[in-house]
């Protein structure tokens, strides 16, 4: 039973309540109901994946006991086995053995991330990236030729985009595909070492074909980056002539994934190898595309592959769930110190500092779960419309890409922070590989740069926000941001419209703290949302003013943007944090008033919101939105919420539905034995 305030959320505390008083009533968590809420409409899909990963639970320590090649082969075997259950087919068309449900595909991937992350990443390469390229960039002939074998894992492929010298800057890729009209073939060539395809999953050992991204050259004219299907190995697994493949070597983590470097020496593929949904080259060498603008064509192509970014964020959230479950279970059993003279040591989770370290992270994990749910639904809607022949509007596509980028950035940073904190909270036990936390930390470390460096992704978020100021701002990279700044000197869009309207809107959006009691309304979601919305709008308008002011002063656009970058990132992060909180509040509002978990989730939501505000309280105080007294009250309220959440922390983790086979680690077995008085 938990000491949680049981009245309906939102709630403002009575003035007579002391900030450190216990909760007003006992409330327990209905674990089954909580799991049903978290699983959502794809509970059956998630349960199917849970059964598969429970059967292969021994894989989570395979990297400790197997050679690298054996580990990679075992990961491949799990991928093939999983494909046989249909768990990887959800997002593909029914005509080729799929389920036609992108939402189910994301739910399956998210659940798979509770297990060995090498399996997750190799699965993501095979079905998400390689499969996604064939499905989204190819046409019917490519679907007929590859999808059925791809879905069944009989054809293992690679997604060859990243190059040694070109990471996030995809438009500048060096690999070239030149059309030869005499032979009706494309010639794929790597002109220098910087243009090698690098860090390509499935390349070093198992991949037999790749979706290769290259600059298309037709009769001496460049048409930008396009994708081609290029065979890598023959049926015996031998690398084909003209292709060089090297192993990237041991990595910090994810060593069950065979990342490799690929070079092409004038490798010829038929004209039909071009994935031609957005561009074609006919036999005579005539290039045609339904999208005339090359920049718009490029970003439309990349936009169709946004599912990979959505899935990486989901994986980060799942990894956080595993780490928190391990750390909180350990903290409920491991005893240390205690009241002098009592003769009894205290469990770790009864210490206020231990609560403060872990429980806000648990609250943020819940918040991100619900935000990810909104994002997945958004992607599912667009994918469903697209499969029915309806392309999304530019506005809807931009909104999806922006939300995917921002959620991925916050979710993967959260995973890194959470797993590290959980590792430290478990002391020496957390440092043992047998207890999973070290492996989780190593395997998720790359998530912050997977599918785009997080700082670059937040610039993409800012780009989406600033698009409201200028219809000509379309590029996502830093050069595009600089071009946008330069355009302001001519467009003066900001001066004419957006900023003035924005400032009028935000001037009265939130009253100051003058006259407000320090503790009043601290558990009011409307207050939390007002603060985050005001911060977002003020930050964004400030960025816009800085950019225009720099241009009006005659400064170089690159210099102007460089000086404003920290403000750009702050505005983007403020935007995404507002979306995350809105998702949590909306989920609470949708619960029935008598829901058994409403009080617990309400406390988590308050804890998350106040922690976000506290983390940026310097900014809020600088801008007159928090008094020092209220800032101190927020810190006290966070401590009180941690005390209230503490009795149900384990139940809240149980709601994640992580198979027990994946939580059977040495430190928990030892702590349980000690708790039972067994040496």
Q: What pLDDT sits at residue 31?
A: 97
Assigned superfamily of 307-654: Butyryl-CoA Dehydrogenase, subunit A, domain 3 (1.20.140.10)
Choose the catalytic residue: 451, 474, 577, 637.
451
> Is residue 202 within 8 Å of residue 157, measured between CB atoms?
yes
Where residue 505 falls among pLDDT bands split at 50, 70, 90? very low
Tell me the C-alpha distance between 322 and 5, whole Å: 27
Where residue 554 falls among pLDDT bands split at 50, 70, 90? confident
Sequence length of the chain is 679
User: Which of 229, 224, 195, 200 is CA-nearest to residue 212?
Assistant: 229
Residue 249 has pLDDT above 50, yes or no: yes
Tokens describing residue 230? 């290029």
Tokens describing residue 572? 């983007």
User: Which of 177, 128, 172 is CA-nearest to residue 279?
Assistant: 177
Mean pLDDT value across residues 437-445? 95
Predicted confidence (pLDDT) per residue in 11-32, tens digit: 333 333 334 433 434 557 999 9
Where exactly are the structural domains of the chain? 37-157, 159-295, 307-654
Pick the more confident residue, 391 or 45: 45
Pick the more confident residue, 411 or 463: 411
10 cis-preceded (ω within 30 degrees of 0): yes
Which DSSP category does 604 fall into?
H
Strands 176-180 and 209-218: parallel
Q: Residue 343: phi, psi to the nearest 5?
A: 75, 5
Tokens describing residue 344? 């009894």
pTM of the complete model: 0.89
CATH topology of domain 159-295: Butyryl-CoA Dehydrogenase, subunit A; domain 2 (2.40.110)
User: Which of 375, 415, 359 is CA-nearest to residue 106?
Assistant: 375
> Is residue 625 within 8 Å of residue 531, measured between CB atoms?
yes
474 is catalytic: no
Predicted confidence (pLDDT) per residue in 124-141, tens digit: 999 999 999 999 999 999
Predicted confidence (pLDDT) per residue in 50-69, tens digit: 999 999 998 888 878 899 99
Candidate CATH numbers 3.90.700.10, 1.10.357.10, 1.10.540.10, 3.40.50.150; the one for domain 37-157: 1.10.540.10
Are the folds of 37-157 and 307-654 the same? Answer: no
Could you give the angle at the alpha carbon of 437 between the alpha carbons of 435 and 440, nearest 5°? 125
Q: How many CB atoms lie within 10 A of CB 401?
A: 21
Pick the more confident residue, 632 or 488: 632
Q: What pLDDT sits at residue 488?
A: 45
Tell me the C-alpha distance between 201 and 206, whole Å: 9
The percentage of the chain sitting over the pLDDT mark of 90, rounded to a whole number, equals 70
């Amino acid at each position: 039973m938990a000491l949680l305030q049981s009245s309906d959320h939102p709630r403002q505390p009575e003035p007579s309540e002391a900030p450190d008083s216990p909760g007003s009533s006992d409330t327990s968590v209905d674990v089954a109901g909580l799991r049903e809420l978290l699983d959502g409409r794809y509970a059956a899909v998630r349960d199917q994946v849970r059964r598969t990963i429970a059967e292969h639970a021994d894989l989570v320590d395979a990297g400790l006991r197997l050679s690298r090649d054996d580990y990679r082969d075992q990961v491949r075997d799990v991928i093939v086995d999983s494909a046989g259950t249909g768990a990887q087919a959800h997002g593909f068309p029914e005509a080729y053995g799929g389920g036609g449900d992108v939402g189910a595909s994301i739910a399956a991937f998210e659940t798979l991330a509770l297990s060995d992350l090498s399996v997750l990443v190799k699965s993501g390469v095979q079905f998400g990236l390689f499969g996604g390229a064939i499905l989204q960039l190819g046409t019917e002939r490519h679907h007929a030729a590859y999808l059925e074998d791809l879905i069944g894992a009989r054809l293992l492929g690679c997604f060859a985009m990243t190059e040694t010298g070109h990471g996030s800057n995809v438009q500048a890729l060096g690999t070239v595909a030149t059309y030869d009209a005499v032979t009706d073939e494309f010639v794929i060539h790597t002109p220098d070492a910087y243009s090698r395809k690098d860090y390509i999953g499935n390349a070093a050992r198992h991949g037999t074909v790749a979706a290769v991204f290259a600059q298309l050259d037709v009769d001496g004219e460049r048409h930008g980056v396009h994708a081609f299907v290029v065979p890598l190995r023959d049926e015996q697994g031998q690398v084909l002539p003209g292709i060089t493949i090297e192993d990237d070597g041991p990595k910090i983590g994810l060593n069950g994934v065979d990342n490799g470097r690929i070079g092409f020496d004038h490798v010829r593929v038929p004209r039909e190898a071009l994935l031609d949904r957005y561009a074609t080259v006919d036999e005579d060498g005539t290039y045609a595309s339904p999208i005339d603008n090359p920049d718009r064509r490029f970003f439309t192509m990349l936009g169709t592959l946004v599912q990979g970014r959505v899935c990486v964020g989901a994986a980060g959230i799942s990894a956080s769930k595993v780490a928190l479950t391990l750390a909180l279970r350990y903290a409920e059993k491991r005893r240390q110190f205690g009241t002098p003279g009592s003769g009894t040591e205290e469990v770790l989770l009864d210490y206020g500092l231990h609560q403060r370290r872990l429980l806000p992270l648990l609250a943020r994990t819940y918040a991100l779960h619900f935000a990810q749910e909104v994002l997945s639904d958004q992607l599912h809607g667009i994918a469903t419309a697209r499969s029915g022949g309806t392309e999304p509007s530019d506005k809807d596509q931009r909104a999806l890409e922006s939300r995917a980028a921002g959620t991925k950035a916050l979710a993967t940073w959260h995973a890194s922070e959470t797993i590290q904190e959980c590792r430290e909270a478990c002391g020496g036990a957390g440092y043992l590989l047998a207890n999973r936390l070290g492996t989780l930390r190593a395997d998720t470390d790359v998530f912050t740069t997977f599918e785009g460096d997080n700082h670059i992704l937040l610039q993409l978020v800012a780009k989406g926000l600033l698009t409201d100021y200028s219809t000509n701002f379309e590029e996502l990279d830093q050069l595009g941001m600089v071009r946008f700044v330069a355009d302001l000197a001519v467009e003066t869009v900001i001066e004419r419209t957006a900023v003035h309207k924005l400032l009028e809107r935000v001037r009265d959006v939130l009253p100051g703290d003058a006259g407000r009691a320090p503790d009043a309304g601290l558990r009011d979601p409307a207050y939390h949302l007002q603060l985050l919305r005001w911060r977002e709008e003020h930050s964004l308008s400030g960025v816009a003013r800085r950019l225009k002011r720099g241009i009006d002063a005659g400064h170089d656009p690159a210099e102007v943007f460089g000086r404003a970058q920290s403000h750009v990132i702050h505005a983007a992060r403020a935007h995404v944090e507002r979306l995350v909180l809105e998702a949590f509040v909306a989920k609470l509002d949708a619960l029935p008033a008598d829901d058994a978990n409403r009080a617990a989730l309400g406390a988590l939501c308050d804890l998350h919101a106040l922690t976000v505000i506290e983390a940026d309280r310097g900014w809020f105080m600088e801008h007159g939105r928090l008094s020092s007294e209220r800032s101190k009250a927020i810190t006290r309220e966070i401590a009180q919420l941690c005390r209230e959440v503490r009795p149900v922390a384990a139940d809240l983790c149980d709601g994640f539905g992580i198979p027990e086979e994946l939580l059977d680690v040495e430190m928990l077995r030892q702590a349980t034995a000690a708790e039972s008085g067994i040496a």
